[in-house]
Chains A and B, each alone.
Chain A
């Protein structure tokens, strides 16, 4: 049974005339890693907010259709119930630090305190979340004394400690440097390997290709493509939707145009696929 089911979702923000999401339907299975790509304004963030209940409960607006996340119909359950099953991490790591706590350890405990988790149960959950995100050594540091990548891992740990069934990430590395991005993606990859259902809106297509089981392409609020990364990220339609392609695909396409790419060899989206293709080309 799908852990996320969306049927005919249309959503319009308050005081706007155009819907941000139009007649969108999709299903996501438990343990799946689904990436959402699209140009700016395509509806990626809105979809992330929908999957975590912020649409419609925080942003209000008009929502039609059905959104079912981890057994909860999001329109019919309050936000405080939805956030327990679907955790959100978004772009700006600084704004995800609550400001209410002075150490990383206490910051991660913040969600558990709000949930009324007994004190004696907290340390084990906090330590597990810190271990998952590789921040155990930072436990006594101020969250504001950390780098962007470290803060984003604290934000991740703060979600994971609440033990959601779905983790939704809205461009979690957009404001991070390459090292910070690598740290965050490493954690997300590990979570996915452990069976967490991950939905991630992301512009960095190389990472998407490497980790995602499936890629959804949004354009103008609609779901226009869905499929495995190798299929979606090499689709010629991506240009129509103002979405780029991976570096590997770009190089392979140029070679293909000059008959330098082996016939029958699929266009690569990952480094390994590119390596295999170039080796085949050299042998040829």
Chain B
């Protein structure tokens, strides 16, 4: 039973020890540059020359490549299929079969889109595989993100799988009382209310109790919150983040002015 939604893999690596904000800045910079910087091969270049080496540096390259390709493969296949056959500006026919013809312009467009999506997915994965969600959220809270928002994001990672388990328990309980949950669409729809009702009402009670528990732990106290976790930073990392932001601005500027 998975007890939390998280990609994080614990490793002892320089990438893991980077400040989460540095990694977050890198993520968004690479994504924006992949989409906005000129050049057909930019996103591919970023993936091969930046993301893959970083994943090796973080000792997560097998998981990184495996998860990236697993996530984008279905979309990529769909993209290539649709764009190569139906791309509006397609003129150069590569080959034909039956009533369909695969066009070069469609394939090129599909590759460009797929490479940008792969860059985006890879950038996020690099962050999520090497950064514990608690660490990331603590870093953001220390920089001004509202604690309530932080709590919503982090608690969802843990509570959602628990809710899923609870839903399964309710389904089993109702089935043991004779509720038919399989069969025709009508029967399945009829089973919905006895399943959804307990889950929704139970969740409302849970929400109130959790709110009480949070209040009892002074979550809404109007004090400056501290953190048990010490998140290291350095002038070098700070400079690196500024450099990334500057590069990203350059990429956006090149798009606007050229």
Pairwise interchain contact B217-A99, C-beta atoms closer than 8 A: no
Pairwise interchain contact A111-B155, C-beta atoms closer than 8 A: no
Q: List 26 A-B contacts (CB under 8 A).
A: A58-B211, A58-B212, A80-B218, A80-B222, A83-B215, A83-B216, A87-B216, A94-B162, A95-B209, A96-B210, A97-B213, A98-B151, A98-B155, A99-B210, A100-B151, A100-B154, A100-B155, A102-B4, A112-B228, A113-B225, A113-B227, A114-B221, A115-B221, A116-B224, A142-B4, A144-B3
- Please name the 8 residue pairs, one residue from A and one from B, whose CB atoms are nearest each other, closest first: A99-B155, A95-B209, A80-B221, A111-B217, A116-B223, A114-B218, A109-B228, A96-B213
Pairwise interchain contact B216-A159, C-beta atoms closer than 8 A: yes
Chain A residues within 8 Å of B210, by CB? 95-96, 98-99
Q: Which of A143-197 touch B at CB < 8 Å? A: 144-145, 155, 158-159, 162
Chain B residues within 8 Å of A114, by CB? 217-219, 221, 223, 225
Q: How far is the CB of B234 from chain A (nearest CB, A)?
A: 19
Chain A residues within 8 Å of B154, by CB? 99-100
| A88-B212, A100-B151, A101-B134 as given contacts; A119 in contact with B218, CB under 8 Å | no
Chain A residues within 8 Å of B214, by CB? 98
Q: How far is the CB of B143 from chain A (nearest CB, A)?
A: 16
Interface residue B226 (Cβ < 8 Å from any Cβ of A): yes
Q: How far is the CB of B17 from chain A (nearest CB, A)?
A: 18
Interface residue B230 (Cβ < 8 Å from any Cβ of A): yes
Interface residue A84 (Cβ < 8 Å from any Cβ of B): yes
Q: How far is the CB of A174 from chain B (nearest CB, A)?
A: 13
Chain B residues within 8 Å of A144, by CB? 3-4, 158, 162
Centre residue among B154, B209, B220, B226 by max chain A CB count within 10 A: B226
Chain B residues within 8 Å of A117, by CB? 226
Interface residue B159 (Cβ < 8 Å from any Cβ of A): yes
Encoded as 1 (CB less than 8 Å from any B CB) or 0, chain A from 36 to 64 comes to 00000000000000001010001000000
Pairwise interchain contact B213-A54, C-beta atoms closer than 8 A: no
Encoded as 1 (CB less than 8 Å from any A CB) or 0, chain B from 1 to 30 comes to 001100000000000000000000000000
Interface residue B63 (Cβ < 8 Å from any Cβ of A): no
- Give the docked Cα–Cα distance between A162 and B223 (Å): 15
Of chain A, the residue at the smallest CB distance from B147 is: A114
Interface residue A264 (Cβ < 8 Å from any Cβ of B): no
- Give the docked Cα–Cα distance between A52 and B210 (Å): 15
Centre residue among B133, B150, B224, B225 by max chain A CB count within 10 A: B225
Interface residue B233 (Cβ < 8 Å from any Cβ of A): no
Encoded as 1 (CB less than 8 Å from any A CB) or 0, chain B from 163 to 201 comes to 000000000000000000000000000000000000000
Pairwise interchain contact B218-A83, C-beta atoms closer than 8 A: yes
Interface residue A106 (Cβ < 8 Å from any Cβ of B): yes
Pairwise interchain contact B134-A116, C-beta atoms closer than 8 A: no
Interface residue B241 (Cβ < 8 Å from any Cβ of A): no
Pairwise interchain contact B209-A92, C-beta atoms closer than 8 A: yes
Chain B residues within 8 Å of A142, by CB? 3-4
Contacts A54-B215, A80-B221 known; 17 new A-B pairs at CB < 8 A: A88-B212, A88-B216, A90-B212, A92-B206, A94-B162, A99-B154, A99-B210, A106-B228, A110-B217, A113-B225, A114-B219, A114-B223, A115-B218, A122-B228, A142-B3, A144-B4, A162-B218
Pairwise interchain contact B226-A95, C-beta atoms closer than 8 A: no
Of chain A, the residue at the smallest CB distance from B158 is: A99
- Give the docked Cα–Cα distance between A86 and B206 (Å): 22
Of chain A, the residue at the smallest CB distance from B229 is: A106
Interface residue A118 (Cβ < 8 Å from any Cβ of B): yes
Of chain B, the residue at the smallest CB distance from A52 is: B216
Of chain A, the residue at the smallest CB distance from B210 is: A95
Q: How far is the CB of B107 from chain A (nearest CB, A)?
A: 45
Interface residue A79 (Cβ < 8 Å from any Cβ of B): yes
Q: How far is the CB of A56 from chain B (nearest CB, A)?
A: 13
Centre residue among A87, A102, A158, A162 by max chain B CB count within 10 A: A102
Q: How far is the CB of B69 from chain A (nearest CB, A)?
A: 28
Q: Which of A3-27 touch B at CB < 8 Å? A: none
Q: How far is the CB of A20 from chain B (nearest CB, A)?
A: 16
Chain B residues within 8 Å of A92, by CB? 206, 209
Of chain B, the residue at the smallest CB distance from A103 is: B134
Chain B residues within 8 Å of A54, by CB? 212, 215
Pairwise interchain contact A106-B134, C-beta atoms closer than 8 A: yes
Chain B residues within 8 Å of A111, by CB? 217-218
Of chain B, the residue at the smallest CB distance from A91 is: B209
- Give the docked Cα–Cα distance between A92 and B166 (Å): 14
Chain A residues within 8 Å of B158, by CB? 99, 102, 144
Q: How far is the CB of A146 from chain B (nearest CB, A)?
A: 11
- Give the docked Cα–Cα distance between A117 and B224 (Å): 9
Chain B residues within 8 Å of A158, by CB? 217
- Give the docked Cα–Cα distance between A129 and B132 (Å): 26
